[in-house]
Amino acid sequence: MYRVLYLSHLASGRDFSVVAQILHVSRERNQQLGVTGALVFDGARFCQLIEGPRAHVVSLAQRIQADPRHTGYRVLFENEDGSARLLPRWLTGYCEPDDLDVFEDGTALTAAQALQTFLQRVPGWDLSS
Ligand SMILES: Cc1cc2nc3c(=O)[nH]c(=O)nc-3n(C[C@H](O)[C@H](O)[C@H](O)COP(=O)(O)O)c2cc1C
């Protein structure tokens, strides 16, 4: 599995309609690509884990990074290993406004801790597939 976890901010001048568009496209496209994971939005920030075949995850992450609907894309974790999927379904939804503070710059999380923290929070977020 190749995995990328990142944090970004909704671009200024964009509103919530962006989120609905992204959820719609990603649901269909990620299934085609064999990509699973989770995307959460807190009203201002996105945090997303994508996992799947290396080529698909790398090209998707590049596409997402270049998307003008968000800014400040910052990778929190990126790695490949032989493990099974951590999130076997594609989940999306909302989180509380301070849930993502822990991932902001200046917090002392290692990449592995950032991934663990994200995964620990997924069950508490009301995400749907
Ligand atoms: C925060 C954010 C997360 C996104 N997540 C995904 C995703 O998981 N899967 C996906 O296909 N597109 C996602 N997109 C949209 C892509 O950037 C891109 O618009 C979409 O894949 C269509 O690409 P295309 O116009 O090159 O076909 C995301 C965009 C943003 C801003």
| pLDDT mean for each 10 residues of the chain (129 residues) | 98 92 95 98 97 98 98 97 96 95 88 97 93
pLDDT value for 105: 80
Q: Which pTM does this prediction carry?
A: 0.96
**Ligand 1 closest atom vs CA 50:** 8
Tell me, in angstroms, the distance from the centre of ligand 1 to residue 6's CA: 13
Query: Domain-by-domain residue ranges, the chain?
Result: 2-128
Is the beta carbon of 67 within 6 A of some atom in ligand 1? yes
- List the CATH code of the domain at 2-128: 3.30.70.100
pLDDT value for 80: 97
User: How far, in Å, are 13, 34, 84, 97, 105 from residue 4 at the CA level?
Assistant: 27, 14, 15, 22, 17
Burial code of 72-98, b = ≥16 C-beta within 10 A, e = fewer? ebeebbeeeeeeeebbeebbbeebeee
Asked if 4 contacts 93 with a C-beta cutoff of 8 angstroms, the reply is: no
